[in-house]
Amino acid sequence: MSQGIVTVVGSYVTDLMSRTPHMPRVGETVLGGPFKMGPGGKGGNQAVAAARQGSTVYMVTKVGDDEFGSYARANFTKETINTEYVFVDLVEATGAALIAVDDNGDNLIVVALGACGTLTAEEVNQASQVIANSAVVLVQLETSNEAVLATVALAKAYGVPVILNPAPYHEFPREILQDITYITPNETEASSLTGLKVETEADALQAAKVIYLMGVPNVIITMGKMGCYYYNGGESGKLYPSFEVQALDTTGAGDAFNGGLAFALASGQALCDAIIHATAVAALSVTKVGTSPAMPTLEEVQAFMATHKL
């Protein structure tokens, strides 16, 4: 199977994670642990997920001129991710995420974007040739709107499909939705984008119809344990169920899905097969602790899918 290039434009932050028996109330200090530090950020996680599946991955992001920045570049290299367009900000520090994971595997996260939040259109444009040669471009909202706009404009100019993971959700120029090929919000993000509650399959259909009318031809709403809902016009869509696994840590599951989807589409898989592959990548990721370190390899996914059927 031919492996096309996946270019990920977005965030890198260093994850600072601790387990906690329960989420602290306001003003409460909880004794938790163990503590783990690891590479993260939605962009970085998605790049690692795609690379471990076998894609040739280019990462476009920005880090600080500090120890976390050096750690980021070393980790990308270890994961065989091209770092030619990992820029260094001499003023802003490398971003960081403060993560608490409770005994149910649920999480709370505070992200300080730091350097990756200052990624400019000029810097993205330096990667124009790589984007032109990509099979898929993957972008999130965990960086500057300027960088997102520049990425989508370049991909449109070169006819390259774009996956937009609108996370973490904040207001962005919605006119870019007309130039997006695939959008992958979770229930909360789909609700923020449409103003509709998204809790059930019926809710997902109504939200997906609204997003479709905004200009996105392929709407994929991820719904945690329920699976994901796909819609591309017409009266109804399709709910793809999730694989049943024992979740240890759900942090990064959405990133695993997006990286797996990018790999599968870049490899030439049909969209229905790509969604199932992405669902398996996400399922395996929650069986391990962490974000980027929890991303499965292609061999692990293939073995899992051989013994687990939807």
User: Given 106, 203, 255, 273, which residue is catalytic?
Assistant: 255
Distance CA 126, CA 136 (A): 17
Contacts of 43 (CB under 8 A, 6+ apart): 8, 9, 10, 11, 12, 59, 61, 116, 139, 140, 142, 143
SS3 77: helix
Q: Please report, for residues 20, 94, 267, the alpha-carbon distance to residue 103 in angstroms, rounded to integers and kept in the order given.
A: 7, 29, 37
Q: How far apart are CA 181 and CA 139, in angstroms?
A: 12
At residue 190, the 3 state secondary structure works out as: helix
Q: Taking the CA of residue 227 as centre, how many other CA atoms within 13 Å lie in the half-sphere pointing to its CB?
A: 14
Q: Write the DSSP symbol of residue 82.
A: B
Identify whether 255 is a catalytic site residue: yes
For residues 287 and 89, what is the distance between their CA atoms, to the nearest angstrom? 35
Name the percent of the chain in helix, strand, coil, to the closest 5.
40, 25, 35
| SS3 state at 68 | helix
Helices 42-53, 298-307: inter-axial angle, 10-degree rounding:
70
Beta partners for residue 62, in sequence order: 87
Decide: helix, strand or coil at residue 202. helix
Nearest to 53 by CA among 306, 299, 303: 299
Q: Active-site residue numbers?
A: 255
